[in-house]
Amino acid sequence: MTAPVTYSPVSCPALFLTAPASNQGKTTITAALARYFTNQGKCVRVFKTGPDYLDPQILAQASKQPVEQLDIWMAGEDYCQDKLYQAAKEADLILVEGAMGMFDGDPSSADLAARFGIPMAIVMDVKGMAQTAAALATGLANFRDDVTVSGLIANRCGSERHAELIRDALPENLPLLATLKRDEDITLPERHLGLVQANEVKDELEERFEAAVEWLKETNDKGLLSLPAAVPFYPVESLLIQADNQSDSQNTELLLEGKTIAIAQDAAFSFIYDANIKALTKMGAKVVFFSPLKDKILPAADALWLPGGYPELHAKALSENTDMQQAIQAFFQTGKAILAECGGMLYSLNDLTDLNDDCYPMLGILEGQGAMRGKRGCQGMQTAVVPQGEIRGHAHHRSRSANTPDPVGFGRRQRHHAPGEAIYQSKGLTASYLHLFFPSNLEATAKLFLAEKELGKGH
């Protein structure tokens, strides 16, 4: 007998870390806060706004809890609401790290915070300014009346006198929550696509997290070191009704039931949303992992997923692992499904030229050449339009491909009429620069992982 439907909210302290622009220190401070409260025995659930693979790795290590994305456009309001509600049921604190500037993007960080009633704290690099920092923070706090700003976090603050000038210039309803000194030993390491992957510098990150906890404790403004106010998080009514009307045997259709999906995961391929793994298992798939860098054979599987990552940093090793190359090539010839995203697509091409202009042979299951192009690149939200359906996602790359076959479709940009990323299909392979968010369309995602001959079997 199922429990009755309840629409009661669950309250949990929550804070949204935002900034006037990128590179203000949001991730460093969010990670420091997560570790600070985790060290106090609190369960801290952290979310990252928008499409991002690297920040969540950092934040997951800092909080010792899984980190997922919240993006209203990519995932939908109900999805975001349910994630916050489920987290509130187990957490002592919810932290959300914003993306770019506070009002940048559509939807923006401010849109997300306003939709779910989460107060925002403004992180600002105040080096080179004093009262102006207060003016900027005041302008951000009052730009919209549907957003609550709890205060300012002054990052890279030079001295107590520096902090005093900012503090005295702020209005009474916008306190200085923390004044954090400049400390390069705490700043998180970066590379050409953002932060370095957490598993590459795990021990170093631990040292930085613990140093960051002491860094927080040294602030003369202690507002950030207390739990923020509790926020009510509501369940999604439609999901509760659906669950209440189902018997235990009436689960969501298992579109991938009985299928095993092998996922490339190592230093070269790691851009994997935790939400995507959950989506595959929710549809009944068994997931297994393998390393194109180190393994010689593929695990037994019905489909492969080659996600994005940094193949350009490991092109030589990938090219030298000919046993794995031959295994994937043979898998491709069977016509079984392969999804190759961004770095996975580069690996699928005939060859890849790295940042040193060295060229290495790749899989050759998709005609064409890939090459890195320094600081120039492409990024943005797009919907993959393929015969299987439409799946939302994003592009973020600093490489180019050439001499590729005719695409079967293109990404549809969020707010621009020009065609987005080309999407290729050959045998069971679907390849593109796009990183897909599977929960945005489970049925279309399932079809990508089913060989064409299987699509008529009740799926």
Q: Does residue 171 have a cis bond before it (omega within 30 degrees)?
A: no
Q: Which two tokens stand for residue 21?
A: 């622009």
Q: Which two tokens stand for residue 433?
A: 């620069």
391: CB partners within 8 A, 6+ apart: 383, 384, 436, 437, 438, 440, 441, 444, 445, 448
Question: Helix crossing, 109-116 with 77-88: angle to 10°?
Answer: 60
- The Cα–Cα gap between 21 and 324 comes to 43
Neighbours of 249 (CB within 10 A): 5
E strands present in 161-266: 176-181, 190-191, 194-195, 230-233, 260-264
Contact status, residue 84 vs residue 70, Cβ threshold 8 Å: yes
Nearest to 113 by CA among 19, 234, 16: 16
- The Cα–Cα gap between 398 and 345 comes to 13
Neighbours of 72 (CB within 10 A): 20
- Is 342 known to be catalytic? yes
Q: Cα–Cα–Cα angle for 125, 128, 132, nearest 5°?
A: 80
Q: Cα–Cα–Cα angle for 380, 365, 409, nearest 5°?
A: 40
DSSP string over 303-324: EEEE-EE-GGGSHHHHHH-HHH
Three-state secondary structure call for residue 84: helix
Q: Is 418 exposed, middle or buried (0-12, 13-18, 19+ CB in 10 A)?
A: exposed
- Which position among 12, 157, 342, 378 bears the catalytic label? 342
Q: Which amino acid is it at 388?
A: Q
Three-state secondary structure call for residue 234: coil
Which residues are identified as catalytic? 342
